[in-house]
Structure 1
């Protein structure tokens, strides 16, 4: 699921961690191999802060499948029950 579906009225470049409701599981998507997987949201928020734009942090994402570190994006991986 794309982030702007969960945060209506904001484009990807304007979404911050605090904009995403806590019941959603944050994930990452690899541009190179299309692998998708969950990320540790609490660890990322502790390091970068809840007011940080996702577009600045997604530069640090690295695919666990192929190792790609370029042009990866955050996605909504799922929702907690």
Structure 2
């Protein structure tokens, strides 16, 4: 039996930097030490372009606390009012 693909996860894989709404904040999350740090998404857009998908950029993330470069990911949250 084939399981249906989670549409939310599928959407995330295809999400580009330009798809982020202005009221969302981008963070990087370390897999090893669970550190969460702010990422300036406008600098990412300037460097990689608005059409760059977010999933491939996860391989470039590294933790500033422990130096881990493996299995890190993005976290997106609404901006606080």
TM-score normalized with structure 2 length: 0.79
Gaps of 5+ in 1: 1-7
Gaps of 5+ in 2: 1-7
Which contiguous aligned blocks of 4+ residues in structure 1 show a shift greater than 2 angstroms? Answer: 8-12
How do residues 15-30 of structure 1 correspond to structure 2 at under 5 angstroms? 15-30=15-30
TM-score normalized with structure 1 length: 0.79
Tell me, what secondary structure is at the counterpart of 1:18?
helix
C-alpha RMSD over aligned residues: 1.8
Structure 1 residues 63 and 48: alpha-carbon distance in aligned structure 2, compared to 1, 3 A threshold: same
Q: Is the 8 A contact 1:15 1:53 kept in 2?
A: yes
The residue aligned with 1:37 is: 37
- Kindly tell me the number of residue pairs found equivalent between the two proteins: 74
Structure 1 residues 19 and 9: alpha-carbon distance in aligned structure 2, compared to 1, 3 A threshold: farther
The whole-number CA distance in structure 2 between the counterparts of 1:71 and 1:14 is: 18
